[in-house]
Structure 1
Amino acid sequence: MDSDSATPAETVRKEPLFEASTQFRNWRFSPEGLARIRERLNDVAVAAIRNTFEVDQPGSSSNVAFLDANEEVLLVKLYLTMISQLCAMFRFPEEVEATAVSYLKRFYLKNTVMDWHPKNVMLTALFLATKTTNNPISLEAYTSHIPKTASSDVLDLEFLVAQSLNFEFVVWHAHRALWGIWLDLQSLPDAPANLSPSIYDTALNHVRASRLTDAELIYSPSQIALAAFSMATPELALQWAQSKFSGNESNGLTLDTIFPVLELVKTMILRDGHAPKVDAVREVDRRLKLCKNPEKVAGSKAFVAKQVEEERKAEEKRNKKVSEAQKEQSDPFGETIQSTSLVDYGDDDD
């Protein structure tokens, strides 16, 4: 082929490992998409619970102040902070805490607090995280150190939590990406001779604050990590970014495309990365007691009625299986041999 007619080879973009993960495919959303999911869940829950109230007592739902989607998020956020407290008490590693936080957030993208109160879901998410991150603790040791908690409070919800996570337990975390940036920075030719560990500690605190926000549901771990690092030391963050996104290995990314995203992450961390006000959450929790799904409240008429209905359906299913099995059942020895007259082969009388 004539060299003049040859076309330059197109640059092939290398797909980052993160983009092959279930987290990238199934647990990342736009801010607008995230809001729609929560609003839809809330609308469906309110309609179902209102109907349950009306079936039990017509007109009883008219004075119920149901929670809205933002109030649900506020209540869940309080229990995100409790994960951190429990991890400190049990001395669980960073991986367990970050994973449990992710599990709790993801659970409430499939469920509502009006069906499942965050307290027991949080305890179950944390216990599940100890197992999936290979930091197991016995159920007895776990529940015995948490006041007013029985083993059943955790076990009863474990399958529901796992199912709500689509059984996708692996989570990519920003604190790991931050550690990678920190190590990488030290290998740069023009890196400062003595990097203060306090820089990393400050950035890590920003990563931890990001767990109280929606950042991990919108941005990648590396974006959150670099934003947190930039909050701790803008100059070094820029130096690291220039070393990564200025050459042929940048996968088409440039500083002009990266830093606007980092600003969005930093704004989110500064705005939302703090514990909610106790008074506001207390009011939400008080109202939740009045609008909680009666079908989930043990002993209520709706709960008993649902249990009876579920048992009736289960009995019908069992009877159907028995009936089908009986129809298909056959004699293990085969069909019965029909009796026939025997031929007499004896000697003639004459």
Structure 2
Amino acid sequence: MFTLSTQLRCWTFASADELEELRRETREAFIKKQEDSIQDSSIFLSYEEECQLRRYYEGKLKRFCQRFQPQMPNYVLGTAMAYFKRIYLHNSIMEPTPEDFMYTCVYLACKVEEFNLTMQQFISNLDEDQSREKSRILAKELRVMEMVHYHLTVHNPYRALEGLLIDVKTRCTDIAETEKLRPFFDQFFNKSVLTDACLLFPPSQIALAAMITSATNLGLNAALDRLVGWLSE
């Protein structure tokens, strides 16, 4: 249950300001560790540059998962992205090599979410030297687990959304277009996975936001009004 999970206890924050403060503290701690060996502080990335670099690798992780063969379920992407975001809350992106940890996060997420495939199947999706990447991924797997404090279970919003969709189908039998919501769900999650939503909100709230946004876009205002009514009862 999410309410008893390490995700809520350790990886869900009160506000975006709290996240920013933690990331700034992480950056300052990294720079302080380098003071004895590096005198020129201008070589370090600014906080804004760190954010840009982190977002770049998050986008790269997302694209890798979306073009993966065999097709990767959305919840594997969600879990991999959660690992990656958690790593760079307590580590500066100037320190661990983001590229290596990015692929290792995806590989570990495949295992945890039981998306079963061989290492050869996994590395066949890489454009880089496959033998080298295989060694790097295996070498860093335990390190990734350590960096996320061995909190490997991630509660994604996808299952919660399926429950909401079943409710709409059951209670709104007069609405035949509910399955047409799915493309809008995908659009919503494709955008939200690149934000800090998984670090700020419970999966049920993200799922509800996806449902409301999708129903609004499709013009299913009747279903939307009834859904909000049920939840407020």
| Common topology (TM > 0.5) | yes
Cα RMSD (Å) of the superposition? Answer: 1.8
Tell me the TM-score normalised to structure 2 length.
0.87
Tell me the TM-score normalised to structure 1 length.
0.60
Q: Deviation at 1:201?
A: 1.8
Report the 3-state secondary structure (helix = DSSP H, G, I; strand = E; otherwise coil) of the residue aligned with 2:32. Answer: helix
Partner of 2:158 in structure 1? Answer: 175
Task: Compare CA radii of gyration and give the structure with the larger one.
Answer: 1
- Give 1:239's aligned amino acid: R
Q: 1:38/1:147 Cα in 2 relative to 1: closer, same or farther (>3 Å)? A: same
Q: How does 1:215-226 map to 2 (within 5 A)?
A: 215-226=197-208
- C-alpha distance in 1 between matches for 2:165 and 2:19: 31
Pick one of 57, 76, 81 that aligns with 1:79: 57
Q: After superposition, give the CA deviation of every residue in 1:242-299 in whole Å (9 maximum; x if it has no partner).
A: 11222xxxxxxxxxxxxxxxxxxxxxxxxxxxxxxxxxxxxxxxxxxxxxxxxxxxxx
Q: 1:66/1:238 Cα in 2 relative to 1: closer, same or farther (>3 Å)? A: farther
Partner of 2:138 in structure 1? Answer: 155
Calculate percent identity across the aligned residue pairs: 27
Q: Structure 2: 5+ residue runs without aligned partners?
A: none
Partner of 1:331 in structure 2? Answer: none
- Give 2:156's aligned amino acid: H
- C-alpha distance in 2 between matches for 1:70 and 1:241: 38
Instruction: Note if contact 2:155-2:203 (Cα within 8 Å) is conserved in structure 1.
Output: yes
Instruction: Note if contact 1:199-1:233 (Cα within 8 Å) is conserved in structure 2.
Output: yes
Say which structure, 1 or 2, has more relative contact order (CA 8 Å, 6+ apart).
2
- C-alpha distance in 2 between matches for 1:72 and 1:104: 14
Pick one of 224, 228, 231 that aligns with 1:241: 228
Q: Deviation at 1:196?
A: 4.2
- C-alpha distance in 2 between matches for 1:223 and 1:38: 24
Q: How does 1:9-28 map to 2 (within 5 A)?
A: 17-28=1-12
Q: After superposition, give the CA deviation of every residue in 1:174-227 in whole Å (9 maximum; x if it has no partner).
A: 122212111111111x44331242223202320221110011101111111111
Pick one of 47, 56, 62 that aligns with 2:32: 47
Structure with more of its chain in helix, by fraction: 2
Paired residues in the alignment total 222
- Correspondence 1:192 to 2:170: no
Pick one of 115, 118, 126 that aligns with 1:135: 115
- C-alpha distance in 2 between matches for 1:93 and 1:106: 21
- C-alpha distance in 1 between matches for 2:205 and 2:34: 40
- Give 2:27's aligned amino acid: N
Q: Structure 1: 5+ residue runs without aligned partners?
A: 1-16, 55-60, 247-350
- Give 1:135's aligned amino acid: F
Q: Deviation at 1:84?
A: 2.6
Report the 3-state secondary structure (helix = DSSP H, G, I; strand = E; otherwise coil) of the residue aligned with 2:86. Answer: helix
